[in-house]
Amino acid sequence: MATEQRRIILKNIDVDGYTNDIGCYIKNGGYEVMKKAFGMEPVAIKDEVKKSQLRGRGGAGFSCGLKWSFIDASKVTKPIYLICNADESEPGTFKDRQIIHKDPHQLIEGMVISCFANSVKLAYIYIRGEFPEGARILERALQEARAKNFLGKNILGKGYDLEIYVHRGAGAYICGEETGLIESLEGKRAYPRIKPPYFPAVLGLYMCPTIVNNVETLCNVKHVVDMGGDAFAKIGTPNNTGTRILCVSGDVNKPGYYEYECGALTMGELINDVCGGIRGGRKLKAIIPGGSSSKVLRADQTYKIKQKGADGQMADKTITLEEIPMDFDTLAAVGSMAGSGGIIVMDDSRDMVDCLENLAEFYAHESCGQCTPCREGVLWMKKILHRISHGHGRGKEDVDLLQNVADNIAGRTICAFGEAASWPVQSFLAKFRPDFESRAGETAGKEGK
Amino acid sequence: MTMSKHPMNPFNHDLAAPDTPLVNVQIDGIWVQVPKGMNVVEAANKFGRFIPHYCYHPKLSISGNCRMCLFEMGTPKMGPDRKPIIGEDGKNEIAWMPRPQIGCATQVSEGMGIRTDSPLAKECRNGVMEFLLINHPLDCPICDQAGECKLQEYSNDYGKNYSRFVEDKVKKPKNVDIGERIVLDDERCILCSRCVRFSKEVVKDDVLGFVNRGGHNTLTTHPGKRLDNNYSLNTVDICPVGALTSKDFRFKMRVWFLKETNTISTWDGTGCNIVVGSRESTVYRITPRENEAVNSCWMPDEARFEFHELQRDDRFTRPLVRVQNDFLPSDWKDTLDQVGQKLKKYSGGQIAIIGSARMTNEELYLLGLWAKELGVTLMDVLPRPQEADGFLISNDGNPNSTGAKILGVSRDGKQLPVIAGQIASGEVQALVSFGEDPADCGIPAASLDKLGLFVFAGILPNASTSRAHYILPTAGFVEKRGSMINILGRLQRLGKAVPSPGLARDDWEILRDLRSASTGGNSIHHYEDVFRAMASAHAEFAGLSWSKIGDLGVPLELGAAVRGQESSKPANENLTLGI
């Protein structure tokens, strides 16, 4: 049996009688950590975050402490901005939405602490256009916080000013890319910026130093300050600290969101014990472990990882899919990523061609179209897949072409969307190539599924 | 003159400040020195390694969207002591990055490695080239850009020669009327955003943008806006493909048939450097020619259409002699002999000459010389003050006011009322006008009728030409050589693109022959003789010859008397700073 959930972020969420208003939050100890933080030096808070080894929960898993260290408030003459990336759009991911809807003050408290630590006077919550209710809840929560002087001028008499605004997106996946988000926030088309030179920490929002953090990451900051960086770093495994909210969707009996310590449970435990196994007693076929952009993992394959043996030396170990522990480093080691925590489970009834076509359609629809390989290539991949799945494939030639198109996109684009769109194609073809070749060999009218 | 950043261009990626230190970089295996911070496209180009690009333009912000300039980049390989490892050649070893970088947005730094032709760089280029073509209509046979299309050129150099694309192409709007002078074909557009950036950054008329997403991205004007500013046609010039075409030029002539002649615009005092595209004796288009001291890469739209005037049906193409109320065509010898004979009847005080600040220095020099020989003192040009636009339109509508001043023909228009008065009073009985309509100079038709002799030398009929006794057809600005001095005191050359129609002649030849006919012989036989004589007579041109002016012109050391007046300066301070 798997370990118990360790609900830190989700502690109060879905608890009977817990509401998302400020009274309920304060009754449950809310904003106490903020008061604690105000008693600390901003630099000390940043140190705790560094010590905590907190990694970003948005998808890339970048060290939060390192990101914050790029900006030295004592040397910066321009304003510093903090943006909460609440553009949760990665297919298969639905954790931030729960926080925003059910515990918005946790996010606001985390933001106030993060802003204080980084000398930020103005912060934004960029929320996706498809979350109108979330935006409304956040607006109300911010109003409540202002009324209590947790925001605004001279917060709690500490001489610190901070304002947070909610900005709603207009329904584009690319707005989750941090520089695209910044462009959108500036009122422009969300075309991601070229890096160099436009690193947010240097030339971010309005060309000022800017920190962009995910909702869950900012909530974690509160808990880092609460328990101290060292204590936080003890949760999970080394370099994979804290908890992770796992969003499980697809062919399991109990899809949903669960919070576990990083690496505390394996993929198999998650699917079988936590999520009640594969639906309808079917067999597991494949898993996309970190949002739709992460590379697919095949159930009947084995994976090589390095693990510390009993002698303390790193040793190669071969494990099955179900034995993969759910943490950042292991998922990277097996050729995928923990990404946004969106775990998509596919059983043996799923046709991989159809699954990939579905994903390709999403990316073709969401490519911003700024740079050539992504704009042209992603739509091309969708068209090839559509053709193959509709019985107009040209056999191996099409599969090779699809592979080559994906290879010509990845690593050649302005932002990570190029990888996000081509990794699924590359990995599906790598793992399920025979499925594609046989489907592409079928002629029109014969598919009859 | 310094190579300072040209203020008209917020960006000047191709010019490094003079004091920029050099860094050592390895380009395709060869170590060279380039100014630190220069982008890789420009740095490589300095050493003959061309990196193809579409969206990059040296005078616009870096967009980095086309991905054609991807190259393989290396950084100095570091030892355990965090110092570069030095190889046998005394240079640092290079650690090559697996991920290609874009040349336009990458600045050179010490020890950098650049591979423009490695398998990775080639693969990237080929991939981008294929992507750009899959949804392109490939309608080169009916596309005006054919022959000067980067898509064509690079597909020849880096393309596949066949298509792997069997899907339906994306359909986009065609023949879109986005401005008075411009047509857009969205299917040809490669979304490089050069036109968008030009409009926003250079002209500050932010009317263009993209709508829709991904493969359906479409260039368009913002709702209710049109690309109608006076610099709109520059977007056609910088469009690397056939998406934006000029209504005036499209479907007129294949560009590979065009002969290109370097010259300058005579639209106003700026003297934009231009290229005239002509075939046989017809001019088809005028495009700007880069000159950082004058117009950078740009020019106003209205100056591009100046040549149409020269193609009007009512243009004078033969010398005309008035007989009662009719004009009879004549030949040059007869006409000029008659004019010469008639002029001899008048004393210098009875003759007035109206020159033009649209004439070349050489013409003005001969005119001044002739006036002196005739003893004429009443002489001036017609000033054309106008409103400057803060960019390339100056406040002087004449292209050569400075030259007219130096060469003594211009009195800033102050003598025009005197001339008008003395014609009205009958003191002046003979008038010679070069190009200007006396009516514009304040001389009414009734006065002209009093004249014993009115000679008009020019190109087109005007309100007064019907009163002339002799009409001498002259050459247009694309039909002759000569020099002019722009409002900044820069001496620039006109080049001859096409012959004059019919019997129309170069003005300097007419003046030479008029001098011979009226005041006796002279020693001027060739065009170069005129410049030589002028240069020895006027200190401003000392040491210069026609060939020394070169295609980009030379700044003249002009005395305050000539250059100093505020009125001859452009409202646009940018222009003055450009020198």
Which structure tokens are listed for B548? 């020394």
Residues in B closer than 8 angstroms to A199, CB to CB, are: none
Nearest residue, CB atoms, B66 vs list A367, A372, A383: A372
Asked if A412 lies within 8 A of B67 by C-beta distance, the reply is yes
Asked if B65 lies within 8 A of A370 by C-beta distance, the reply is yes
Asked if B214 lies within 8 A of A189 by C-beta distance, the reply is no
CA distances from A143 to A109, A138, B311, B460 (A): 13, 8, 71, 75
Considering only CA atoms, which of B169, B217, B65 is closest in space to residue A172?
A: B217
Residue B426 has pLDDT above 60, yes or no: yes
Over range B292-300, report the average pLDDT.
Answer: 94
Q: Which of A362, A412, A415, A419 to mutate to test the interface with B (most CBs of B within 10 A)?
A: A412
Per-residue pLDDT at B414: 96
Per-residue pLDDT at A163: 98
- Nearest-neighbour CA in chain A from B236: distance (Å): 21
Residues in B closer than 8 angstroms to A373, CB to CB, are: 67, 127-128, 131
d(CA B69, CA B240): 14
Per-residue pLDDT at A311: 80
Q: Phi and psi at residue B561, in whole multiples of 5°?
A: -60, -35
Per-residue pLDDT at A309: 75
How does residue B557 score in pLDDT terms, banded at 50, 70 and 90?
A: confident
Quote the crossing angle between the two packed helices A352-366 and A372-389, to the nearest 10°.
150
Read off the pLDDT of residues B491-536 as tens digits, 9 standing for 90 and up: 999 999 999 999 999 999 999 999 988 877 667 888 888 999 999 9
Per-residue pLDDT at A4: 87
Does the predicted model carry a pTM greater than 0.80?
yes
Which structure tokens are listed for A289? 């472990």
Asked if A412 lies within 8 A of B190 by C-beta distance, the reply is no
Residue A446 has pLDDT above 90, yes or no: no
Per-residue pLDDT at A444: 55
Residue B334 has pLDDT above 90, yes or no: yes
Query: Which residue is closest to A188 within chain B, CA to CA?
Result: B209
Read off the pLDDT of residues A377-418 as tens digits, 9 standing for 90 and up: 999 999 999 999 999 999 999 999 999 999 999 999 999 999
ipTM, two decimals, is: 0.94
Per-residue pLDDT at B325: 86
Question: Which amino acid makes up residue B402?
Answer: T
Q: What is the mean pLDDT of chain B?
A: 93
d(CA B191, CA A28): 54
Q: Which of A184, A207, A376 to mutate to test the interface with B (most CBs of B within 10 A)?
A: A376
Q: A448 versus B424: which is more confidently predicted? A: B424
Dihedral sign (CA A60, A63, A64, A68): negative
How does residue B573 score in pLDDT terms, banded at 50, 70 and 90?
A: very low
Residues in B closer than 8 angstroms to A418, CB to CB, are: none
Which structure tokens are listed for A84? 């909460």
Query: Which residue is closest to A400 within chain B, CA to CA?
Result: B164
Q: Which residue has the tokens 């600045």?
A: B107
Considering only CA atoms, which of A180, A198, A247, A233 is closest in space to residue A55?
A: A233
d(CA B113, CA B96): 8
d(CA A366, CA A372): 14
DSSP state of A4: P
User: Cβ of B340 under 8 Å from any chain A Cβ?
Assistant: no
Q: Which residue has the tokens 């056609």?
A: B236
Asked if B130 lies within 8 A of A408 by C-beta distance, the reply is yes
Read off the pLDDT of residues A234-277 as tens digits, 9 standing for 90 and up: 999 999 999 999 999 999 999 999 999 999 999 999 999 999 99
- Nearest-neighbour CA in chain A from B59: distance (Å): 18
- Nearest-neighbour CA in chain B from A373: distance (Å): 6
d(CA A444, CA A448): 9
Which structure tokens are listed for A425? 């194609």
Residue B564 has pLDDT above 50, yes or no: no
- Nearest-neighbour CA in chain B from A190: distance (Å): 10
Per-residue pLDDT at B562: 61
CA distances from B559 to A158, B404, B570 (A): 67, 14, 18
Q: Which of A207, A361, A375 to mutate to test the interface with B (most CBs of B within 10 A)?
A: A375
Which structure tokens are listed for B220? 């368009």
Nearest residue, CB atoms, B215 vs list A376, A408, A414: A376
Query: Which residue is closest to A417 within chain B, CA to CA?
Result: B214
Asked if A379 lies within 8 A of B127 by C-beta distance, the reply is no
d(CA B22, CA B109): 9
Per-residue pLDDT at B571: 37
d(CA B200, CA B198): 5
Asked if B213 lies within 8 A of A365 by C-beta distance, the reply is yes
Residues in A closer than 8 angstroms to B213, CB to CB, are: 172, 365-369
- Cis peptide bond prior to B240, omega within 30° of 0: no
Per-residue pLDDT at B561: 55
Contact B151, B189 (CB under 8 A): no
Asked if A372 lies within 8 A of B67 by C-beta distance, the reply is yes
Read off the pLDDT of residues B66-107 as tens digits, 9 standing for 90 and up: 999 999 999 999 999 999 999 998 999 999 999 999 999 999
d(CA A89, CA A366): 10
Residue B456 has pLDDT above 80, yes or no: yes
Over range A18-42, report the average pLDDT.
Answer: 96
Query: Which residue is closest to A404 within chain B, CA to CA?
Result: B127
How does residue A448 score in pLDDT terms, banded at 50, 70 and 90?
A: very low
H/E element, B347: none
Over range B310-337, report the average pLDDT.
Answer: 95
B:310-339 residues touching chain A, CB 8 A cutoff: none
How does residue B10 score in pLDDT terms, banded at 50, 70 and 90?
A: low
d(CA A251, CA A255): 8
User: Cβ of B130 under 8 Å from any chain A Cβ?
Assistant: yes
Per-residue pLDDT at B243: 98
Compute the radius of gyration of chain A from its Cα atoms: 22
- Nearest-neighbour CA in chain B from A348: distance (Å): 31
Burial class (CB in 10 A: 0-12, 13-18, 19+), B171: exposed
Residues in B closer than 8 angstroms to A364, CB to CB, are: 214-215
H/E element, B489: none
User: Cβ of B99 under 8 Å from any chain A Cβ?
Assistant: yes
H/E element, A231: helix A229-234
The chain A residues in contact with chain B (CB within 8 A) are 172, 189, 191, 194, 196-197, 364-380, 383-384, 387, 394, 401, 408, 411-414
Per-residue pLDDT at A447: 46
Over range A118-127, report the average pLDDT.
Answer: 98
Per-residue pLDDT at B8: 54
How does residue A140 score in pLDDT terms, banded at 50, 70 and 90?
A: very high
CA atoms within 13 A on the CB side of B303: 30
Nearest residue, CB atoms, B135 vs list A194, A371, A376: A376
Per-residue pLDDT at A375: 97
Per-residue pLDDT at A315: 87
How does residue B7 score in pLDDT terms, banded at 50, 70 and 90?
A: very low
Asked if B131 lies within 8 A of A375 by C-beta distance, the reply is yes
Dihedral sign (CA B147, B233, B266, B201): negative
Per-residue pLDDT at B166: 96
Residues in A closer than 8 angstroms to B191, CB to CB, are: 369-370, 372, 375
Asked if A412 lies within 8 A of B132 by C-beta distance, the reply is no
B:154-193 residues touching chain A, CB 8 A cutoff: 164-168, 170, 190-191
Query: Where would I find the H helices in B426-572?
Result: 445-450, 507-519, 527-537, 546-549, 560-563
Asked if B62 lies within 8 A of A380 by C-beta distance, the reply is no
Asked if B165 lies within 8 A of A172 by C-beta distance, the reply is no
How does residue B49 score in pLDDT terms, banded at 50, 70 and 90?
A: very high
Residues in A closer than 8 angstroms to B209, CB to CB, are: 189
**What percent of chain B is modeled with pLDDT above 90?**
89
d(CA B204, CA B207): 9
Per-residue pLDDT at B521: 66
Nearest residue, CB atoms, B67 vs list A365, A371, A384: A371
CA distances from B375 to A2, B423, B516 (A): 114, 17, 15
Asked if B209 lies within 8 A of A189 by C-beta distance, the reply is yes
Query: Which residue is closest to A377 within chain B, CA to CA?
Result: B131
d(CA B65, CA B219): 14
Q: Which of B56, B60, B67 to mutate to test the interface with A (most CBs of A within 10 A)?
A: B67
Q: Which of B63, B150, B213, B218 to mutate to test the interface with A (most CBs of A within 10 A)?
A: B213
Residue B490 has pLDDT above 50, yes or no: yes
Query: Which residue is closest to B190 within chain A, CA to CA?
Result: A372
User: Cβ of B40 under 8 Å from any chain A Cβ?
Assistant: no
